[in-house]
Amino acid sequence: MEKKATGNETQLLASTKDVSGCNEGADCRENGLLIRNPKSALRLVEDGNKVHPSQGDKEEAAPIKNGYSGVQSSGPCNGMGGVEDAQCTAPAATTTTTTTTSTTCGAEGQQQLMELEDRETWSKKIDFLLSVIGYAVDLGNVWRFPYICYQNGGGAFLIPYTIMAIFGGIPLFYMELALGQYHRNGCISIWRKICPIFKGIGFAICIIDLYVASYYNTIMAWAFYYLVSSFTAELPWTSCTNAWNTGNCTNYFSKDNVSWTMYSISPAEEFYTRQVLQVHRSNGLDDLGGISWQLTLCLLLIFTIVYFSIWKGVKTSGKVVWVTATFPYIILFILLVRGATLPGAWRGVLYYLKPDWQKLLATEVWVDAAAQIFFSLGPGFGVLLAYASYNKFHNNCYQDALVTSTVNCLTSFVSGFVIFTVLGYMAEMRNEDVSEVAKDTGPSLLFITYAEAIANMPASTFFAIIFFLMLLTLGLDSTFAGLEGVITGVLDEFPHVWSKRRELFVLGLIIICFLGSLATLTFGGAYVVKLFEEYATGPAVLTVVFLEAVAVAWFYGITQFCNDVKEMLGFAPGWYWRICWVAISPIFLLFVTCSFLSNPPELRLFDYNYPYWTTVLGYCIGTSSVICIPIYMVYRLVVTPGTLKERILKSITPETATEIPIGDIRMNAV
């Protein structure tokens, strides 16, 4: 319930007296639990002048500095979860005013009090910004955006990309930041305050995050293997004289005159496929082969770094991102300058940006633009909810959303120049068209094409080390964020079990993720990574965010949500944001989801064509997370007492109020 102190709009709230000091006759009940900082009653101060309201003023509702409004209410606390007002007046000798705060009874109140007092916040605002930027800017910005851009019309692709960002990606990004900051809960428990019947969304998000952690970190293990292999005078993927090379290995950068044929394989490709992945020792998904002990050690070290970065919470991870979020930009700048000085770089840039306006008439271009901006900004993984929940209540999350999303999009665009200047150089050296060089997609673009180009630059060892170190830092940020989404969600849902055992829970989570990654560490692990990337997360996340947008805009109510934002920021979102949240963003998500389901991708990796049953398996894995949503809906309706209509109404009505901080007091907003 909303509470307020009387006074002028510019008055500040400060504590002065312990609750135990209530005067005789004050309305303080023993069986009530006052949800507030265990300091004192309120003192209203304005420019050092003390305010003495009359008794009549205590019964009126007046505006407070942050725009909250409310009136006093009273009611018995019966120990059954009822709410009562606790009114404590200060001694006459002190100049304090009477105020009212909400009282929550029983175990629920104790849990809320524990959550409020123990909730940590970011040490600095910049820690939060760097963490969000580090999460949004990941490996996909480096390899996925440049490839999709030139594949879908070059410079012309920027038009649908920008439109989808303005009307789809950024509004969803802003919505999640605002939800997390206002309700101060993770992806599971937040639904008690929004629309309880959709609580299954939180469980689905946690499962999706675990799937991502099971394959995403394996890609970082590949990068770590490359990093270790780079500490040599001659990079191992520059020659064809190694034990893993075949007779088709052709080094066209050698001084000898070498002809490139349709059977030729570069030493960089053989190093990647035969030494790092060892896919030649697997026959496909039905015969993955043994586990690579080298990659297992690399992944173990990565998870060790992750554990000691996030085990204490955002206080520690907020410091680590000062390195992991800023270092990639330094390296991108160095690689951009180096790439621009290479012969043939202009050919790559021209190929990257040359517009093909006819492509804009193709539906798949718009689908790719929508999917790219969505997965780049990353709503739906619980990360933005978790990170924003550690913000101060009046933090300007609107500004944060615009800044971080803009930085993310610009990083993707600049990464294209970093990649294509090098591809132009490769085309120049091979005496081929850029389109022939740029056939590799996904991780292969980094681990084969770009690695090969680096190997043939002057100071190749130095550039190889900083490049793969950059890939590691890009991946670590996203791993920190994904796991923090799960950790915050579970700890907020079960605070009585895990709130004091965070280190132990994080350790158990890391072990589960490591064991779940074993299939991706086999000789056929690259096939598993591809399957998970395409099917296990894509459609599932799209479905989750679609239902999340519908639940917030249509069940919780767009008016209520905008009022929440106004309480935090002092101004309400305009009509543009309201229309996006109510209609455009859900349609945007439905459009991408239906396009994906109606035309599932035909998977192929290297020379392996995925059989049909793998498509069914992929959809089953994806469904295993989304199925939590209808299951919880049924469970909720079954356990809720009353008629069917009463059950539905109770299930879509927020269970608990959100505590709004005013000075040292938390006021319930309903």
CATH number of residue 573's parent domain: 1.20.1740
CA distance 16 to 94: 9
CA nearest neighbour of 544 among 486, 593, 600:
593
DSSP string covering 212-252: HHHHHHHHHHHHHHHHHHTSSSS-TTS-S-STT--TTB--T
CA distance 309 to 69: 41
Backbone dihedral angles phi then psi of residue 45, each to the nearest 5 degrees: -130, 135
On whether residue 665 sits in a domain, the answer given is no
What would the two tokens of residue 485 be?
Answer: 């989404």
CA distance 139 to 476: 10
The helix/strand/coil state of 126 is helix
Rounded to 5°, angle at Cα 512 from 511 and 518: 90
Q: How many CB atoms sit inside 10 A of residue 389's CB?
A: 25
Per-residue pLDDT at 315: 81
On whether residue 6 sits in a domain, the answer given is no
Binding residues for Na(+): 134, 136-137, 141, 376, 408, 474, 477-478
Q: Nearest 10 degrees: CA dihedral of 191, 195, 197, 201?
A: -40
On whether residue 347 sits in a domain, the answer given is yes
Q: Are 463 and 454 in contact (CB under 8 A)?
A: yes
Spacing of C-alpha 545 from chain mean position = 12
Q: Which residues have a Cβ under 8 Å from the Cβ of 137 and sit 6 or more positions away?
A: 325, 328, 407, 408, 411, 474, 477
Q: Which residues have a Cβ under 8 Å from the Cβ of 345 and sit 6 or more positions away?
A: 339, 421, 422, 424, 425
CA distance 669 to 102: 10
pLDDT < 70 stretches in the chain: 1-118, 252-261, 440, 657-670
On whether residue 537 sits in a domain, the answer given is yes
Partnered with residue 104 across adjacent β-strands are 33, 83
Q: Nearest 10 degrees: CA dihedral of 437, 603, 248, 434?
A: -10
463, containing H or E segment: helix 460-493
User: 3-state secondary structure string, 171-212?
Assistant: HHHHHHHHHHHHHCCCCCHHHHCCCHHHCHHHHHHHHHHHHH
The helix/strand/coil state of 23 is coil
> What's the number of domains the chain is made of?
1
Q: Are 605 and 525 in contact (CB under 8 A)?
A: no
What would the two tokens of residue 456 be?
Answer: 């043939």
What would the two tokens of residue 391 be?
Answer: 């913000």
Per-residue pLDDT at 669: 54
On whether residue 121 sits in a domain, the answer given is no
Per-residue pLDDT at 387: 95
Q: Are 185 and 401 in contact (CB under 8 A)?
A: no
Instruction: Give, as one character, the DSSP assignment of residue 445.
Output: I
CA distance 397 to 388: 8
Range(s) of the domain holding residue 594: 127-652
139: left (phi over 0), alpha (psi -120 to 50) or beta: alpha
On whether residue 151 sits in a domain, the answer given is yes
On whether residue 229 sits in a domain, the answer given is yes
Instruction: Give, as one character, the DSSP assignment of residue 154.
Output: G
Per-residue pLDDT at 58: 36
For 447, counting Cβ atoms within 10 Å of its Cβ (0-12 exposed, 13-18 middle, 19+ buried), the class is buried
Binding residues: 134, 136-137, 141, 376, 408, 474, 477-478
On whether residue 122 sits in a domain, the answer given is no
